[in-house]
Structure 1
Amino acid sequence: MLDFVVKGGPVVPTLKGIQQLAETRRFKAWFLDQFGVLHDGKQPYPGAISACRFSSVSFGILVRLFQLGCFYFLTVERLATSGAKMVVISNSSRRASITMEKLKTLGFDPSLFLGAITSGELTHQYLQRLTDHFACHSVFMALTLNRRNDAWFAALGRSCIHMTWNDRGAISLEVAFRYCPPPKFLLQSLTQTKISGLASVAEAVTMPFDKVFKNIALGLPSGTSLPLTLEDLEEILKRCAVKNIPMVVANPDFVTVEARALRVMPGTLASKYEKLGGEVKWMGKPDEKIYKSAMAMAGVDAVDCIAVGDSLHHDIKGANIAGIQSAFITCGIHATELGLGKFGDTADPSSVQALALTHDAHPS
C-alpha cells in the first residue's frame, strides 16, 4: 500500500513495496539508472541478477525504493506482458554499447533491456560529423542530425584537449577531432578519485582543488593517456577559462557509488571550471535530452514513463524537468546525508523531504 506524507513540501507517496504499482500497468516504460540501482560499479546488488534472469514475459528488477533503505523486488511480469519496456539511462561517459557490455560482464542479461542511453553516447552523437557514415540506432542518428539545428554544437571547432581517466582506463573520443596541446578546446574533463570519509555531494563540490582532482590524464590520439599533475590540470583550466573555451562534460555526475564508497566524478571538475569563469555544456541527466532520447527509443510519451534513480540532482530533478514520474532510492549517493549507515536502514521522511527541497527535486 502507499502512505502519503507531508513535511513542508508537496505530498509524496511513501512506497512500502511497488509491486502493486507495477500491476496497475500505469507505466509503459521504466528508465533505470545503473550505478546505485542495479549495481555499485563493481558488483550487482544482492538478488539483482537472479531477479533479471526470467524470461521476457516474467522477470523482475531489484531496486531500493523511496523512503526505504533496503531491497525490494519490483516485479514487472505484468508490465512485460503488457508491452512495458526497460531502458538504462546513465551519466556514463562511455558509449551505450559499452554500458550494455558492462551489464553483461556483471551477470545481467542485456536482452531484458530495450537498450541504454548514456551521457557519453549523447556527447558522441552531438559531436559526430554529419557527413560521417556510421551504423547506429535510429534514435542516435536523429541525435546526430540534431547537431545541425544546435547552434552551440555547430559552432564548435575540430581541435580539442581530451581529459580522461588515468586509473580506470582511458576513454577514446571515437570522433574525428584533432588532438592538440592546451589550451585550444576542452572537450570533456573526466576525473575519478576515492576520498576517504567523503560524506555528501555538497562536500565533493566544495573541497579544495588539490584534495579532489587526482588520477587525471590527457587523452592521446593513440587511445592511451598521459597522466597530468594537479599543476598541469589547474593551468589548463585557468588558460581555457581566460580564453572563453567551452567544456563539454560527458559525465555530469558529481559523485557516484562504488563498492559503498563515494567517488568524485566529472561534474565536480566541471563545476570548478564554471567557478573559474569557464563555460560548461552539461550532457546527460538532468538535461531533458537524455529522457527524450529514452522516450524515443521506447516509443512512449512522458505520461507513460517512470524513472528510478539515487541522485536527487540528476535522476529526480531530471525526471521533474522531463515531466515524468520518478522513484528515489535513498541508500545511494545520499545515504550518509540521510543517516543511512547500512542496507536495511530506513530514511526519516522529514529528512528525505528536507533534502529534496534543498535540491529542488521532488520524487513522485
Structure 2
Amino acid sequence: MKSAPALSAIIDEYSALFCDVWGVIRDGHALLPEAIGALQEARRHGKPAILVSNSPRPASDLHRQLNLMGAPDDAWDGIVTSGDATRLALSELAPGPFVKIGPPGGDDRLYDGLDIHFSDLEEARAIVCTGLTPEIGWDPEDYRDLLTAMAGRNLPMVCANPDIVVQVGDELVWCAGALARLYRELGGKSIISGKPHKPIYELAYKALEAAGWSGERNSVLAIGDGPETDIAGAERIGVDALFVGDGIVGGAIGGSDIAAAKAVLAEYGADARWFTSRLIW
C-alpha cells in the first residue's frame, strides 16, 4: 500500500470512481466539503463517479437525503445502494411472510412495490434485517436469543445493510451487518447483496454505463473506509482501492500513519493499493 494524500495524484490511472458515502463524503452528521470537492474535480477531469452505499434504502432516498444536507448534484453521476440490490433478493423470496428486524418506519420504502408481507417468528419463512431496533437493543448481543431461535428454524436472513458499524460523528454505531455476522456464527444463513458482494457492484457498473462510461471494468478506483466492505469488495471485483483512514477505523490509525493503516487492514485479511487519511483533491 502506498500513500496517496490527494486524489489528484492518482486520478489519471483510472477511468471512473466507485465512492463510499458514510465515512468518506459525510461523517454521519454533516457532509465533508473537501471530499465533495474531490469528486467534483474528478468529474471535471472526465472521471465519472458512482456513489456505492450500503444504505438499506433505495438510491432515490439517499439522493434526497444528501440533497437536503446540501450536497450538489454535480459531485456524482449516479447512486446505487444495498437497498437497491436487496430489493432484487427480496423479490426472489416473495411473497414471504418475513420477520422484520430494523428501526421502525425509516426503511419502509425498501418494500415499495414488492409483493411481501410480515409476520411473527412462528409463521415466517425468511427474515429481512435493515438494522437494530430500540425495542430489542443497540448491541448485537441483545439479539442472541432471537437469532438463535431463528437459526433453529433455518430461516434465511436477507441483510439490507452489510456494514458492521457506521460512523456517526465521533461515534461508531452497530449496523445490520453485525446481526448478520452473529447469525452466521449461530449457524444461520445470510443473504447479502451489498458491499463486499458482487450484486451491488453489477448495479454500479450499469450506472456507469448509463452515464456514458465505456472503460475496462478493472480501470475503476474504489474509495472507502470499510475494510470488510469497501476494501474487501474492491478485491473481489478486481479493482484498486483507496483506503480512507479517518472513517470507521480512524481511532486505530491515528491520522496519516500508513503503517497503522496496513496493520488494520491486515487484521481483516484485506489490502489496498492506496491510503489517504481523508478524501481531498
Q: What TM-score does the superposition give when structure 2 sets the normalisation length?
A: 0.85
- The equivalent residue for 1:19 is 8
Candidates 103, 121, 127, aligned match of 1:182: 121
* Greater relative CO, 1 or 2 (CA 8 Å, sep 6+): 2
Shift of 1:159: 1.2
1:171 and 2:108 aligned: yes
Shift of 1:95: 0.4
Please tell me the residue identity of whatever aligns with 2:23. G
- The equivalent residue for 2:160 is 250
Query: Quick check: 2:28–2:168 contact (8 Å CA) kept in 1?
Result: yes
- The equivalent residue for 1:79 is 45
Distance in 1 (CA, whole Å) between partners of 2:96 and 2:103 is 22
- The equivalent residue for 1:191 is 131
Please tell me the residue identity of whatever aligns with 1:311. G
Query: Quick check: 1:27–1:305 contact (8 Å CA) kept in 2?
Result: yes
1:322 to 1:351, Cα distance in 2 relative to 1, 3 A: same
SS at match of 2:250: coil
- Counting only pairs closer than 5 Å after superposition, residues 88-127 of structure 1 correspond to structure 2 as 88-127=51-90
> Runs of 5+ in structure 1 lacking a partner?
1-11, 52-59, 62-73, 129-152, 195-208, 215-229
Query: Quick check: 1:193–1:212 contact (8 Å CA) kept in 2?
Result: no
Shift of 1:301: 3.0
- Counting only pairs closer than 5 Å after superposition, residues 123-162 of structure 1 correspond to structure 2 as 123-128=86-91, 153=92, 158-162=96-100
Query: Quick check: 1:292–1:322 contact (8 Å CA) kept in 2?
Result: no
- The equivalent residue for 1:332 is 247
SS at match of 2:45: helix
1:211 to 1:162, Cα distance in 2 relative to 1, 3 A: closer
SS at match of 1:75: helix
Distance in 1 (CA, whole Å) between partners of 2:44 and 2:131 is 41
- Counting only pairs closer than 5 Å after superposition, residues 286-301 of structure 1 correspond to structure 2 as 286-299=196-209, 300-301=215-216
Shift of 1:185: 3.0
Query: Quick check: 1:165–1:171 contact (8 Å CA) kept in 2?
Result: no
Aligned-pair RMSD on alpha carbons?
2.5
1:77 to 1:244, Cα distance in 2 relative to 1, 3 A: closer
Shift of 1:103: 1.1
Please tell me the residue identity of whatever aligns with 1:79. H
Distance in 1 (CA, whole Å) between partners of 2:200 and 2:52 is 7
For residues 45-90 of structure 1, give each alpha carbon's deviation from its aligned partner in whole angstroms, at most 9, with x where no partner exists: 24445x2xxxxxxxx33xxxxxxxxxxxx8325522xxx2110000
Distance in 2 (CA, whole Å) between partners of 1:93 and 1:42 is 18
Distance in 2 (CA, whole Å) between partners of 1:45 and 1:258 is 13
Higher radius of gyration, 1 or 2:
1
Q: What TM-score does the superposition give when structure 1 sets the normalisation length?
A: 0.66
Query: Quick check: 2:18–2:221 contact (8 Å CA) kept in 1?
Result: yes
Please tell me the residue identity of whatever aligns with 1:360. G
Shift of 1:292: 2.3
Count matched residues. 264
- The equivalent residue for 2:169 is 259
Please tell me the residue identity of whatever aligns with 2:45. L
Please tell me the residue identity of whatever aligns with 2:24. V
Distance in 1 (CA, whole Å) between partners of 2:121 and 2:250 is 39
Distance in 2 (CA, whole Å) between partners of 1:79 and 1:293 is 23
1:302 and 2:229 aligned: no
Shift of 1:186: 3.6
> Runs of 5+ in structure 2 lacking a partner?
210-214, 274-281
Please tell me the residue identity of whatever aligns with 1:91. N
Shift of 1:363: 0.8
Query: Quick check: 2:131–2:161 contact (8 Å CA) kept in 1?
Result: no
1:98 to 1:265, Cα distance in 2 relative to 1, 3 A: same
Query: Quick check: 1:164–1:171 contact (8 Å CA) kept in 2?
Result: no
Identity of aligned residues (%): 25
1:316 and 2:225 aligned: no
